[in-house]
Amino acid sequence: MSLASCAASSNGANRDAKRDRDRARPRRSNKVKTRRVSQHTDVAFVEPTLSKPLSRPAPSCDAASLPGLIVYDLDDTIWFPELYMIAGAPFVKTSKSTVVDSGGARLGCYPAALASVALAKSCGAFRERGTLIAVASRTHRGKWARELMDAFEVRDGDDDARTLAACVDFVDIASGSKTKHFARLREKSGVPYAEMLFFDNERENIDEVARLGVACVHCPGGLSADAWRRGLTFFVDDVVDP
């Protein structure tokens, strides 16, 4: 056999061996990316008026003890599906809290998420405290996120509707660790970490930000009324439940 034939045979054997190893190697799974988009439809796509009422600070509570800044993640905290799961813009608004994307996928807000923003903007104690609202997201689809924030509506106690974007004082959408988001938010808002409240569906983000001294609530499956109550009780003991 010639040297060329030997080399070709050897290369072919190597390719076959590599193919066999690749077939035998277990594939990495990604539970987030493979979950069905319809998973949370019973929660995410109902109108805010149908959601469970939220707990609020009691009239006797000291407003100064409330958080100075409430920070929300976006994907699977305020809305679902996550933006990487969908075809994206252009979006068609179908209700105050839902849209349909260019591929026909429906995206909606968790009722308690919008209701908590409304409460923070309308409740007397939060207004007396001067509580600010921020968004901290690592999505790579920042333009879509901003379009959605302009589309979704928040209704306060006077039944006045404002867009989610109009209710948010600071928007930090960028890649990288959430601790970098919070460093920028602290600088922009002047609110110390100890006076911040953070909601996120990802445990890794919660653990990182908690080490800064921020009060953090893990809310897998979206922000719920119970998650909101847990966050509130970090700051006040006297809570009025619905």
Superfamily of domain 38-240: HAD superfamily/HAD-like (3.40.50.1000)
Instruction: Give the E-state strand segments of 86-179 in sequence order.
Output: 92-95, 98-100, 106-109, 132-137, 153-155, 161-163, 170-173
pTM of the model: 0.80
Q: 78: closest CA among 138, 132, 140, 149?
A: 149
Q: Which residues are catalytic?
A: 73, 75
Distance CA 26, CA 16 (A): 18
pLDDT in the model for residue 196: 99
Return the pLDDT at 160.
74
Domains of the chain, by residue range, sit at 38-240
Structure tokens at 84: 């990487």
Cα dihedral value 187, 189, 194, 199, nearest 10? -110
Residue 22: strand, helix, or coil? helix
Other Cβ atoms less than 10 A from the Cβ of 103: the count is 8
pLDDT value, residue 14? 54
Q: pLDDT tens string for the chain (242 positions)? A: 544 444 445 555 555 554 444 444 333 333 333 334 444 444 444 444 445 789 999 999 999 999 999 999 999 999 999 999 999 999 999 999 999 999 999 999 999 999 999 999 999 999 999 999 999 999 999 999 999 999 999 986 556 789 999 999 999 999 989 999 999 999 999 999 999 999 999 999 999 999 999 999 999 999 999 999 999 999 999 899 98
